[in-house]
Amino acid sequence: MSEAADNYCLRSYLSWRLVALQAVLLVTLIVLLIGALCASGVLVVPRDEDHVIAIVQRSLARDVQGGLVLRPTAELNELRANTPDLWFVVRDPQGHSLSEGPVPGEFARLGDALSEISQARLGWQMFEDDPRKAPARMKRVHADVGLVQIMTATQGPMSRARTVLATSVAFLAIALPGLLLMAAATFVATPMVVKRAFAGLDTAAEEARRIDFRRRGSRLSADHLPLEVAPLVAAINDALKRLDHGYARHQRFVADAAHELRTPIAILNTRLEALPASPEKTRLLEDTARLATLAEQLLDIQRFDQCRNPRVRVDLVAVARNVAADLAPLAIAAGYELSLDTAAEQVETMGDRAALERALTNLVQNAIQHGGRRGTITIHVGSTATIDVTDEGDGIPQDERARIFDPFYRLAPLDRGAGLGLNMVREIARLHGGHVSVLDGPKGGACFRLTLPTAPFAE
């Protein structure tokens, strides 16, 4: 599993957690409120006439003469016990009737006047009679004894199913709109709050993306950060400080070692020059040249990393001539011919002349080392600020061309080079806004092309 699989969006995480918490709190509050109202007697269990009619309907039977009687069912007995004001009247189409409880005279006198009515609610005149009198409910139903008409004004306890339904509807009517409103507010407000709270973290992240190991001393801004995130930024800044100190110690060591090596290498080279000409002398001179190049490369790492030299107009043709003159004896001694051709008398770029000479020197020395000690090494300066160094050796395989510019990478395991030269060329090209690439030479060897920006026309 990848590391990114454990990441999550803080805004979504907080929004959903807040909505869940709000839902739990809202449900708990409503349950407690309903419980408190029920316990105090303010809220009673709902009652209705249909519940009484249903119980009476299930209790009806007939006697031997065909009259209507009531069976003492458990639910009828419970209704009688819990409803002291119970009354009802039952009639059938055959004229049989029965009643129980104190039937109001107004309803008792109705008789069969409503025999053709399937159901009705019979109220009172509000201005002439007592409005506190309960209206009656009349309903024609099918019972075990056949079609009967039942009338009552008693509001018995509502059935469990209807009680649950009524409670659910009341809960949804109260809780759901509130929950939806709070959820909408949460999903709108939480991203805004998180974005504003972590605005300083976005600034720190942008600063972190711009950190480069060549520009030491960079630190992340700790301004406008939440207290929960500030320790992380402080720890990162401490780590950057330690890295800066370690890199500075490394630089000082490399520079001191390179300076210490230059003197004995120069002495050794002078003594070798005094020896009689021989193949062994040539090999020893090549080895000392590599040592001198390595020392210079170590110093170049420090010089070019600091980038302190000002950018000036540099003539690449003049740079190529100087490098060709300096390395011609070494190339000839190694069995090569060294050729220089230019597309123009002057090709200029903006940069550090010493750095560009070092880059071209490394390319030519690389050709001397890997060109197979045969053929011609050609330096060509193009009119578009390019320098090609071509040899007639075995070339470089396609799958190795990207890796040869890595530091300390050597194409052959037994190669006596340090693996810094081509990496140095790439870094110098990058610092100048250019690049270096590897092509196939016209005669099968390798062609290294250094491409640089062309200098603007002088006013």
Domain with CATH 1.10.287.130 in the chain: 209-307
Q: H or E segment at 21?
A: helix 10-40
Q: How far apart are CA 292 and CA 418, in angstroms?
A: 12
110 CA to centre of own chain: 78
Tell me the two tokens of residue 405: 């510019």
Distance CA(364)–CA(446), nearest Å, equals 11
Residue 448 · residue 389 · CB < 8 Å: yes
Q: Identify any residues that bridge with 62 across adjacent strands, giving them in sequence order.
A: 68
171: tokens are 């809960």
Cβ contacts of residue 150 below 8 Å, gap of 6+?
A: 53, 56, 57, 88, 89, 90, 138, 139, 140, 141
Structure tokens at 126: 């509000």
CATH class of the structural domain 209-307 = mainly alpha
Q: How far apart are CA 377 and CA 371, in angstroms?
A: 8
Please provide the CATH number assigned to the domain covering 47-157.
3.30.450
C-alpha 339/C-alpha 376 separation (Å) is 7
The CATH H-level (homologous superfamily) assignment of domain 309-459 is Histidine kinase-like ATPase, C-terminal domain (3.30.565.10)
Q: Give tens-digit pLDDT for 6-56.
A: 666 777 777 778 878 877 887 787 777 766 766 665 444 445 788 888 899
Residues of the chain with CATH 3.30.565.10: 309-459
Domain with CATH 3.30.450 in the chain: 47-157
DSSP code for 457: P
Q: Which residue do the tokens 């009705």 mark?
A: 120
Cβ atoms within 10 Å of 11's Cβ, excluding its own: 16
pLDDT in tens, the chain (459 residues): 444 456 667 777 777 788 788 778 877 877 777 667 666 654 444 457 888 888 999 999 998 888 999 999 998 898 888 888 888 999 988 888 899 888 888 787 777 777 788 888 877 654 455 556 667 888 899 998 899 999 888 776 555 555 556 666 666 676 777 777 877 877 787 777 777 777 777 777 777 777 766 666 778 777 777 777 778 888 888 888 888 888 777 777 766 776 677 778 888 888 888 888 888 888 888 778 777 777 776 676 666 655 555 678 999 999 999 999 999 998 998 889 999 999 999 999 998 888 899 899 989 988 998 888 888 999 999 989 999 999 988 888 887 877 887 766 666 554 555 566 788 888 888 888 899 999 888 888 899 999 999 988 755
Q: Specify whether the CB–CB gap between 81 and 169 falls below 8 A.
A: no
Joined together, the tokens standing for residue 51 give: 């519940």
**Strand pairing partners for 120?**
138
d(CA 67, CA 97): 8
In the structure encoding, which two tokens stand for residue 337, read together? 């011919």
User: CA 14 to CA 134: how far, in whole Å?
Assistant: 54
Cα 373 from Cα 333, distance rounded (Å): 10
- For residues 33 and 25, what is the distance between their CA atoms, to the nearest angstrom? 12
**DSSP codes, 391-456:** --SS---GGGTTTTTSTT--SSTT--S-S-HHHHHHHHHHHTT-EEEEEE-TTSSEEEEEE-PPPP
Rounded Cα distance between 24 and 34, Å, is: 16
Q: What is the pLDDT of residues 212-225, one digit of tens each?
A: 666 667 787 777 77
* Six-digit token string for 420: 């810094």
Any idea what DSSP says for residue 216?
T
Distance CA 140, CA 149 (A): 4
Element housing 91 (H / E):
strand 88-91
334, with CB counted inside 10 A (0-12, 13-18, 19+), is: buried
